[in-house]
Amino acid sequence: MRRVVSEDPGDVPGGSSGRADPAAGRRLHLLADLVADGEVVVLSGAGLSTESGIPDYRGETGRRRRAEPMTYQTFVGSAAARRRYWARSHLGWRHIARAAPNAGHRAVAELQRRGLVSGIVTQNVDGLHQAAGARQVIELHGGLDRVRCLGCGRRTPRDLLDRRLREANPGWHAEDGTVNPDGDAAVPDELVESFQVVDCADCGGLLKPDVIFFGENVPRPRVEECYALTERAGLLLVLGSSLTVMSGYRFVRHAAERSIPVAIVNRGPTRGDADALLTLDAPLGPALTALLSALVPAR
């Protein structure tokens, strides 16, 4: 049964100027009308977490710096690369761990609580959807709060590794530098060289964050689960992703090929705009807060 949306959701900030944009308000009203039908599957990207202080790769915060993410091949093939990664990630994890969900994350959780969102797929590894109260989130690229041994396969909490690294590096200190969405922070070379890496406490194998590096494939069962969720969607709602990489864009294509409507809320253009029924260039937190206000809760 179709739910009611308010007659006037109000203006929302525009994507480039940040000022109230009546056209954006009208698009928001159309988006609310789509969301009100329910069965919404959310596909979120790094742009949803920028208001929590975590930069993105390709959006406005990403364009201010050069991001060179670690590749899987480099990580497993070079002890020096692993030392550099863990020194930078050890520092960056502190920033990720203290980040708090923003209004956008809370809005998605509320939409799920109201029964309008049937599934959440996130390309983010920061855990902020869950921290905001969302349930059954599919972490497409894994999560930084876990560590996996490449030898025995055991997964352990990131906090445990953090304690071990602190013990192995007494007195090691670096200032918080620029942090990437994967928790990688800028650290001076001289501090990297003095950093001591630890291995698996059970088998001595190499430890890796439980995330998908560039050059590594998302496990096929996880991909198939996302495809199946997309096929059951009444609306695929993309939030804060430029869809530059195929990892997320494939679900937009999958939906479009099956005539499942796609709506995109993002700062700036995306690769999926041509596949979308509706696009909204706006800050995620204010736009999703306004969307909630536009939806009259079912009685």
Q: In this structure, are 198 and 166 located in the same domain?
A: yes
Q: In this structure, are 45 and 123 located in the same domain?
A: yes
d(C-alpha 158, C-alpha 94), whole Å: 11
Q: In this structure, are 89 and 164 located in the same domain?
A: yes
Q: In this structure, what CATH number is given to the domain that contains residue 178?
A: 3.30.1600
Residue 23: give the domain boundaries: 19-55+101-143+218-294
Parallel, antiparallel or unpaired: strands 207-211 and 142-149:
antiparallel
Q: In this structure, what CATH number is given to the domain that contains residue 259?
A: 3.40.50.1220
Largest Cα span, the chain: 63
With a CB cutoff of 8 Å and minimum separation 6, the contacts of 111 are 35, 40, 42, 117, 292
The verdict on whether 141 is a catalytic residue reads: yes
Spans of the chain, pLDDT less than 50: 1-9, 60-66, 299
pLDDT of residue 70: 84
Write down the pTM of the prediction. 0.88
d(C-alpha 227, C-alpha 280), whole Å: 24
pLDDT of residue 253: 98
List the catalytic residue out of 95, 105, 129, 141: 141
Is residue 137 included in any domain, yes or no?
yes
Q: In this structure, are 115 and 202 located in the same domain?
A: no
pLDDT of residue 91: 87
Parallel, antiparallel or unpaired: strands 137-139 and 142-149:
unpaired
pLDDT of residue 58: 52
SS (H, E, C) the chain: CCCCECCCCCCEECCCCCCEEHHHHHHHHHHHHHHCCCCEEEEECHHHCHHHCCCCCCCCCHHHCCCCCCEHHHHHHCHHHHHHHHHHHHHHHHHHHCCCCCHHHHHHHHHHHCCCEEEEEECCCCCHHHHCCCCCEEECCEEEEEEEECCCCCEEEHHHHHHHHHHHCCCCCCCCCCECCCCCECCCHHHHHCCCCCCCCCCCCCEEEEECCECCCCCHHHHHHHHHHHHCCCEEEEECCCCCCHHHHHHHHHHHHCCCCEEEEECCCCCCHHHCCEEEECCHHHHHHHHHHHECCCC
Q: In this structure, are 155 and 186 located in the same domain?
A: yes
pLDDT of residue 209: 97
pLDDT of residue 92: 87
Residue numbers belonging to the annotated binding site: 123-126, 149, 152, 200, 203, 240-242, 266-268, 284
Residue numbers belonging to the annotated binding site for Zn(2+): 149, 152, 200, 203
d(C-alpha 138, C-alpha 118), whole Å: 12
pLDDT of residue 177: 55
Residues 73-113 pLDDT 10s: 999 999 999 999 999 999 889 889 999 999 999 999 999 99
Is residue 14 included in any domain, yes or no?
no
Instruction: Name the domain count of the chain.
Output: 2
Is residue 3 included in any domain, yes or no?
no
Residue numbers belonging to the annotated binding site for NAD(+): 123-126, 240-242, 266-268, 284
Is residue 193 included in any domain, yes or no?
yes
Q: In this structure, are 90 and 231 located in the same domain?
A: no
